[in-house]
Structure 1
Amino acid sequence: MTDKDQLTETTVSTQPVFSGKIISLQIDTVTLPDGTTATREVVKHPGAVAVLAIHEGRLLLVDQYRQAMGRCELEIPAGKLEKGEDPQEAAARELQEETGFHSSKLTHLHSFYTSPGFADEIIHLYLAEDLIAGEMSLDEDEFIELYEATPEQALAYITEGRIADAKTILAVYIWQARLAQKAAESVK
């Protein structure tokens, strides 16, 4: 292991470049461990939640058009955090808005950064079980189709490229690992 001080960069100045509805962009000037300076482009994001929702042994997925990708994408329900919002409450909100389901059991699985080389976006991933059907309440600019996938279908969607975003791929593999663990425990 190295001494963390040998790797740390110190911010000297920050120049705001863009501030939008969801993200902002800034350019930081930093002092490197060797004393020289460099610039870092940083995308600031409020954070997000994603939900690995299992209904009767099937994964809930939403299909929606993603402008940045130029196509539709199958994803787990997800959305950005509102200012000061508790991630677990946001996960429950996003699950209900995008799928219509409510969960009596939300469990935090992991929090991870999406692209730490240039962005501070963190996603809090929750497992939703014991789902109760209800009504979707999409945002006015959201158009979504709801899908349910077996474990095999979810893996096939990854192979086919219909699931190509990191949070959903991660969620599918976590689900697969949990299923394998339960199967192993049941044979003991």
Structure 2
Amino acid sequence: MTAKPEILKLTKVASSRLFHIEAMDLRFSNGTERRYERLRTGGHGAVMIVAINEHDEVLLIREYAAGLEDYVLTLPKGLIDPGEDMMTAANRELQEEVGFAARELSHVRQLTAAPNYMGHRLEVILARDLYPSSLEGDEPEPLEVVPWPMSRLAELFIHDEFSEGRAIAALCLVQQRHSPAD
């Protein structure tokens, strides 16, 4: 196994309310030195929730995606707040975004996105045995909840509004281990 590169220097390049860009000067085991830039990750991580109701439907949300300047279908998600564990954060986000809580929560897998450029880690959580429960969230407008039958995931995967790679990956992972509710 090749040794990890030595970090020679970290330099703050730019910062905003959401993003911190950092330059990393590295020396690889063969002596080559290179500068990389990355989005520095802070906070306590994030969760994405695959919530399946008693009708064997996954609860999607339709929300505005500023990066695409359009509304998209996706899964509920959010940051893990200080003092929360991933399960508490998942249940809170579920209540804020879809108006349900879960009696059964299980960790599916950790996902990363563009790990060459950012250290963001997302915990995929499966939520079952849902019951109505709402919390005030930080969304600027009410989110539309869209129940989608698990039996029709193939259609969802090619739906124009459903394009977020993390949500597709999360549903594929859950689909592999899913057994319909009785």
State the TM-score, normalizing by the size of structure 1.
Answer: 0.86
Give the distance between the partners of 1:113 and 1:140, measured in 2 at CA. Answer: 24
Alpha-carbon distance, 1:75 to partner: 0.8
What is the letter of the counterpart of residue 29 of structure 1?
Answer: D
What is the letter of the counterpart of residue 40 of structure 1?
Answer: Y
Alpha-carbon distance, 1:155 to partner: 2.5
Q: Which residue, 32, 37, 45 being the options, matches 2:33? A: 37
**More divergent stretch after superposition (60-69 vs 75-84):** 75-84
Corresponding residue for 2:164? 165
Segments of structure 2 that go 5 or more residues without pairing to the other structure are none
Corresponding residue for 1:76? 75
Report percent identity of matched pairs.
Answer: 25
Cα deviations by residue, 1:107-144 (Å, 9 ceiling, x for unpaired): 11111211101000000111100000123523153541
Alpha-carbon distance, 1:84 to partner: 4.7
Give the distance between the partners of 2:84 and 2:17, measured in 1 at CA. Answer: 16
Cα deviations by residue, 1:9-64 (Å, 9 ceiling, x for unpaired): 11110111223333311111111222121111111233210111001210000110
Segments of structure 1 that go 5 or more residues without pairing to the other structure are 184-188
Structure 1 residues 157 and 136, CA gap change in structure 2 (3 angstroms): farther
Q: What is the total number of aligned residue pairs between the two structures?
A: 177
Give the distance between the partners of 2:82 and 2:9, measured in 1 at CA. Answer: 25
Contact 1:99–1:136 (8 Å) recurs in 2: no
CA RMSD of aligned residues (A): 1.8
Query: Would you tell me which structure has more helix in proportion to its own residues?
Result: 1
